[in-house]
Amino acid sequence: MPVIEVEHLHKRYGDKIAVDDVSFTVEQGEIFGVLGPNGAGKTTTVECVQGLRRADGGTVRVLGLDPIRDRAEVRQRVGAQLQESQLPDKLRVREALDLYRSFYRQRADIDELLADLGLTDQRNTAFHKLSGGQKQRLSVALALVGRPEIAILDELTTGLDPQGRRDTWDLVERIRDRGVTVLLVTHFMEEAERLCDRLAIIDTGRVVAIDTPSGLLSRVGTEHRVHFRALDAVDDALLAALPGVTGVRRTGDEITVTGPEEVLQTLLATLAEQKVRYAGLRVEQPTLDDAFVSLTGRAARTTTSPSTDERPS
Ligand code: ATP
């Protein structure tokens, strides 16, 4: 039985339709991603799953329960991250964990949790003295302190540096390895690709596709792009005639050859044979960004790195 079932969810704020028609199911033990650009309706969807908002249409079941009617039971069994700065400044890490732990029937071992999240040295640090990454890790710890069956993590790496993001991704994998089902909201393509077993791409309140990351990628084809600079003369026609090559393009002194994955090997063999030296070789594979563009027919407003993470105010 799926642990989360969302069917034809519809939610409005006044005249504004935040979630038009969203359906998906999450199986026990998977990391399921809800991916989409800002304003797509991701947070509203998971807030309905948590019982924080009442749907205007459709049904939501979590562990077989109704998140509104059975809110108290759902809260016991589903851990959710706090939005930032929902803790008093002076509260220390260990105190926050002790307090939240007291709300639950099932209680995690706090020392173990602190060690797992790399917060042991900060256990006596006040909330306002924590770095952004430490605050994020504390919010994940608070989501896990009641030993939940499902953890809902919303934009958990926004604002983290690349190392912080990678550490957090490892942590999410460890959470899943303990048997916790993870519902992960993100607008980072790279994060979804790296972590999710399956994901729903949501755009303007509707599900555009639900698949594994590789399933989504296969929908956009397997075309690779090989870029390089030739240090000796090379005939474009010769490259274009190689088996599988679908295009050869020059931009300045860079040559781009497109074709299936095998094209790289054929190309390198030909360059060696023709004694053409090259530099700056790089291969681009299809990404979830390409999948998003192909599925929605327009450019992704999602981002691949926090440095380009311009969130509307
Ligand atoms: P983001 O990645 O920016 O958090 P999201 O995909 O999570 O976006 P939601 O936060 O669910 O999207 O918002 C969906 C739409 O509903 C947006 O247009 C948003 O402006 C609107 N919205 C969200 N919360 C409210 C609210 N409390 N009142 C009115 N409109 C809202």
Asked if residue 234 and residue 100 are part of one domain, the reply reads no
Asked if residue 96 and residue 121 are part of one domain, the reply reads yes
Q: How many angstroms does the Cα of residue 44 sit away from the middle of ligand 1?
A: 6
The CATH code of the domain that includes 196 is: 3.40.50.300
Reported pTM: 0.80
Contact 158, 150 (CB under 8 A): no
- What is the CA 30 to chain-centroid distance, rounded? 13
- Please work out whether the CB of residue 3 comes within 6 Å of at least one atom of ligand 1: no
Domain final position from 218, 235, 270: 218
Q: How many angstroms does the Cα of residue 127 sit away from the middle of ligand 1?
A: 27
Asked if residue 236 and residue 143 are part of one domain, the reply reads no
Hey, is 133 helix, strand or coil? Answer: helix
- Nearest Cα residue to atom 17 of ligand 1: 39
Atom of ligand 1 nearest to the CA of 47: 11
What long-range pairs does 213-216 form, CB within 8 A, spacing at least 24? 213/288, 216/288, 216/291, 216/295
Q: What is the pLDDT of residue 211?
A: 94
Q: What is the mean pLDDT of the chain?
A: 88
pLDDT in tens, 15-49: 999 999 999 999 999 999 999 888 889 999 999 99
The arithmetic mean of pLDDT across residues 80-92, rounded, is 82
Q: Which position has the higher pLDDT, 309 or 267?
A: 267
Residue 305 above 50 pLDDT?
no
β-bridge mates for residue 126, sequence order: 92
Q: How many angstroms does the Cα of residue 296 sit away from the middle of ligand 1?
A: 19
Asked if residue 49 and residue 105 are part of one domain, the reply reads yes
Asked if residue 246 and residue 165 are part of one domain, the reply reads no
Number of C-beta neighbours around residue 41 at 10 A: 23
- The total of structural domains in the chain comes to 2
The arithmetic mean of pLDDT across residues 113-118, rounded, is 89
Best probe residue, ligand 1, of 11, 13, 17, 19 (max atoms within 8 Å of C-beta) = 13
Asked if residue 212 and residue 245 are part of one domain, the reply reads no
H-state helical runs in the chain: 42-50, 71-77, 93-101, 110-116, 132-144, 162-177, 189-195, 213-219, 236-240, 263-273, 288-296
Asked if residue 212 and residue 248 are part of one domain, the reply reads no
Asked if residue 150 and residue 239 are part of one domain, the reply reads no
Report yes or no on 165 lying in a domain.
yes
Report yes or no on 302 lying in a domain.
no
Quote the CA–CA distance of 115 and 81 in Å, as a whole number: 18
Report yes or no on 293 lying in a domain.
no
Residue that the structure tokens 């709300």 belong to: 103
Q: How many angstroms does the Cα of residue 16 sit away from the middle of ligand 1?
A: 9
Q: What is the pLDDT of residue 299?
A: 59
Best probe residue, ligand 1, of 16, 17, 45, 310 (max atoms within 8 Å of C-beta) = 16
Quote the CA–CA distance of 271 and 189 in Å, as a whole number: 34
- Please work out whether the CB of residue 11 comes within 6 Å of at least one atom of ligand 1: no
Report yes or no on 75 lying in a domain.
yes
DSSP code at position 34: E
Best probe residue, ligand 1, of 44, 83, 157, 203 (max atoms within 8 Å of C-beta) = 44
The arithmetic mean of pLDDT across residues 256-279, rounded, is 93
Asked if residue 235 and residue 261 are part of one domain, the reply reads yes
Which domain covers residue 121, as residue numbers? 4-218
Strand stretches in 204-246, DSSP E: 206-211, 224-230
The arithmetic mean of pLDDT across residues 289-299, rounded, is 73
Cβ burial of 122 (10 Å; 0-12, 13-18, 19+) is buried
Q: What is the pLDDT of residue 217?
A: 83
Quote the CA–CA distance of 166 and 190 in Å, as a whole number: 11
DSSP code at position 285: -
Residue 102's Cβ-side half-sphere holds a number of Cα atoms within 13 Å equal to 5
pLDDT in tens, 180-194: 999 999 888 888 888
